[in-house]
Amino acid sequence: MSDAVRITEIFGTNVFSDTVMRERLPKKVYAEVRKAIVEGTELSFATAEVVANEMKDWAIEKGATHYTHWFRPLSGIAAEKHDSFISSPKEDGRMIMEFSGRELIKGEPDASSFPSGGLRATFEARGYTAWDMTSPAFIKEDATGKILCIPTAFCSYTGEALDAKTPLLRSMEAIDEQALRIVHLFGNTGAKKVTPSVGPEQEYFIVDREKYLQRKDLIYTGRTLFGAMPPKGQEMDDHYFGSIPARVGRFMKAVNQELWKMGVTAKTEHNEVAPAQHEMATIYSEANVACDHNQLVMETMKRVATEQGLACLMHEKPFAGVNGSGKHNNWSLTTDNGVNLLEPGNTPHANIQFLLVLACILKAVDEHADLMRFAASNVGNDHRLGANEAPPAIVSVFLGDQLADVMYQLINTGEATRSIQGEKLKTGAHSLPVFTKDATDRNRTSPFAFTGNKFEFRMVGSSDTVATINIILNTIVAEAFKEAADILETAADFDLAVHDLIKKYLTEHQRIVFNGNGYSGEWVEEAARRGLPNIGCMVDAIPVLSSEKSVALFESFGVYSRTELESRVEILYEIYAKSINIEARTMIDMAGKSIIPAVIAYVGEVASSMNCVLDACEEADVSVQKELLLECSDLLSETKCALALLKEVTGEAAAAEGTEATARIYREKVVPAMDALRKPVDELEMIVEKEMWPMPSYGDLMFEI
């Protein structure tokens, strides 16, 4: 049986999909469910009862024994509480299997046990999970068996969002409403809905689990806190797109099969730039479904890796000295009658609707570049952004030669009369096929790049959710669409008004467009001259979320309330402080209990060996041993002093009051102290005999797989 046939046989078999609902639900019930999904109408209790019963029967037929409301609280990981379908047994001992409409629609987890940023006090425990009908239920198979997972949103007793899904759904409604106004202005009155579509790319590392378990830093923090580079890293560029190692290939195959069964469209897989680094991408889907699927991708990768004696590292920078991992968020807008609003066509200079949409997006990104930067802020990403391996921390937009040329025509002359067209590719080999190349090149250094019929936001961290950037993108573009629609709907001369508005937006926001090398120092200087924000780290990015400008933006579209934004600020400061605290304490533990004793033991062996030589021959030359002892002793002393300093500043940070103040102490004092401790330890690793070093090396982890 071919792989292609097998994919068609297993794809979606564990999904309570539209096809399954159509087959199993009464026509009237199915019609009401579809209307609720498409139009957002309320589902009647009677219909919910029917759906729940059929969903239960389907799941049991598939071998499921339990169900769960599957949601993602602000802790950053998926949460689930399993309940079996069994109910009170009958008098004759037979078991009843039940699942009610109420259990389908609503759950009640303890909201005070998840991060809430003050939205929920310990004594105020009630929270609710609410069924997201637009994201299909699925069966997940793991060590606990087969579990019916119902994607849900999570909110507090008073209605505030305690997750990313709730504001994401709100933002999707906001951009739908405003984008429809634009679409209708251009005559597409048949469109009833505009949906943001997302295709995430996921980068990750795979290492041997036995070696992983020998490193406390990987176990506790997901990254190596110590580690000297091996003789070979990624400098030969021989890993990227190279032959996939056998163990990794088996892992990828198993991951694909698990994801396909759950309806996740895993498509692309390949080796990435760094040794042991790989990537997987999925096909586009609606933004909330794409976010759910990306969460499933990460969960499945970690689970399958463990089952196969491997470890999957999702941290943005698990190894110093080689590229870290990110997550590219490909974003577009599509009407329900098949029009991609970001499709420029062959003559974009004449595609007025596209030019207006493009101008609105440039306006949105320019006015809210700080929010875009915030979307890429997490603890691990601080190690990547601006480090010549990922987009810079300065947000800019890459349009490419074709669209940039159209933009400057409009700005300089008021008219765009031509579009640069792709030429035939000349390879110099007559045996190769002749084809037309694209009208513009790609730019991997751009944070937000136009790539044909979509925008690619390249800054998201590999361990992070893609929900945040899509919430922000949807909302800021909705704001730009609203302003444009407000003007155009009342214009006496629509054609003239839309022409003038496009030129106005492009002229006022052209500073955000940059097609050059985002890694260069010249760009940093140029961006400063343009007045673009350059936010260097997570701690500096967090306040952006609760600024008056951000509050006004999100509240105007009902995406976040001020209270919800302020709660997230508190949570993020806490996450930063706690994460760095765990890293610092892990370094202290490793250095004090493992590394320093190992170095002392090695120094003792060298000294003992030197004394044995001298005992045998007092005239022997032991200068090498003495130099080695002196070098190790100096580095050991430096290590001990750095360890003492790290203990001191970590204690100071832990005793600080206030979430922002605490986070800043960790950023400004603890992080530099960690770097100071790592430096002599990594030098010692290059000296101490390998068999005596207390943990697997970078070479062991990245190349022995």
Residue scoring higher pLDDT (281 or 422):
281
Strand partners, 268: 281
Give 43-94 pLDDT, tens digit per residue.
Answer: 888 999 999 999 999 999 999 999 999 988 888 888 888 989 887 665 555 6
Q: What is the mean pLDDT of residues 597-608?
A: 92
Structure token pair of residue 682: 């990594």
Q: What is the mean pLDDT of residues 529-553?
A: 97
- pLDDT over 90 (residue 428): no
- The confidence band for 24, taking pLDDT boundaries of 50, 70 and 90, is very high
- pLDDT over 50 (residue 363): yes
Distance CA 701, CA 228 (A): 12
The whole-chain average pLDDT of the chain stands at 92
Structure token pair of residue 617: 């021959």
Give 641-653 pLDDT, tens digit per residue.
Answer: 999 999 999 999 9
Q: What is the mean pLDDT of residues 423-432?
A: 77
Half-sphere exposure of 451 (CA within 13 A, CB side): 19
How high is the pLDDT of residue 388? 67
Output the CA torsion sign for 340, 345, 349, 352: negative
Distance CA 605, CA 623 (A): 16
How high is the pLDDT of residue 1? 45
Q: What is the mean pLDDT of residues 189-201?
A: 96
Percentage of the chain modeled with pLDDT above 90: 76
Q: What is the mean pLDDT of residues 97-107?
A: 81
3-state secondary structure of 513: strand
Cβ atoms of 642 and 664 closer than 8 Å:
no
Q: Name 564's Cβ contacts closer than 8 Å, sequence gap at least 6.
A: 119, 160, 161, 167
- Rounded to 5 degrees, φ, ψ at 428 are 85, 0
- The confidence band for 430, taking pLDDT boundaries of 50, 70 and 90, is confident
Give 115-128 pLDDT, tens digit per residue.
Answer: 767 665 555 667 88
- pLDDT over 70 (residue 4): no
How high is the pLDDT of residue 137? 95
- pLDDT over 80 (residue 586): yes
- pLDDT over 80 (residue 425): no
Residue scoring higher pLDDT (191 or 40):
191
How high is the pLDDT of residue 515? 94
Half-sphere exposure of 402 (CA within 13 A, CB side): 22
Task: Convert 166-187 into a string of H (helix), E (strand) and C (coil).
Answer: HHHHHHHHHHHHHHHHHHHHCC
Cβ atoms of 472 and 374 closer than 8 Å:
yes
How high is the pLDDT of residue 634? 95
- pLDDT over 90 (residue 622): no
3-state secondary structure of 333: strand
Output the CA torsion sign for 308, 311, 313, 317: negative
- pLDDT over 90 (residue 95): no
How high is the pLDDT of residue 91? 56
How high is the pLDDT of residue 157? 84
Q: What is the mean pLDDT of residues 180-197?
A: 97
C-alpha distances (whole Å) from 27 to each of 19, 436, 440, 637 are 12, 50, 50, 78
- pLDDT over 70 (residue 172): yes
